[in-house]
Amino acid sequence: MHMREREIEKYLIWAVECRGGKTYKFKSVSQRGVADRIVCLPGSTWFIELKSPTGSLSALQIIFGNEMKQLQQNYVVLKTKQEIDDWIKQCDTK
């Protein structure tokens, strides 16, 4: 059984708060496709798109991700607890 997106989101919030960070739910009223969460960790800010393990990005989400990469912003798509754990470890080493 696959985890639902909201379960993955709860895990992300917990993992970030354990490291002294904050997560903010983001909904743009003027542009569709923006990341689900803005995550602030000590020393870095991330735009994070959350999906269920079988979920896929919409065309507008892909465009947003590409724009963030072109602007040299921290952007990642996370689909599982393991991906969240791996991402957190990567952030801890920076």
pLDDT digits (tens, 9 = 90+) for 63-90: 999 999 999 999 999 999 999 999 999 9
- Which pLDDT band holds residue 91 (cuts at 50, 70, 90)? confident
Please give the distance of CA 8 from its chain centroid, rounded to a whole number.
Answer: 10
Residues 6+ apart with CB under 8 A from 25: 36, 37
pTM above threshold 0.85: yes
Residue 23 CA to residue 56 CA, distance in Å, equals: 22
pLDDT digits (tens, 9 = 90+) for 14-40: 999 999 999 999 888 888 899 989 999
Residue 44 CA to residue 42 CA, distance in Å, equals: 6
Q: Give the chain's domains with CATH numbers.
A: 5-92 (3.40.1350.10)
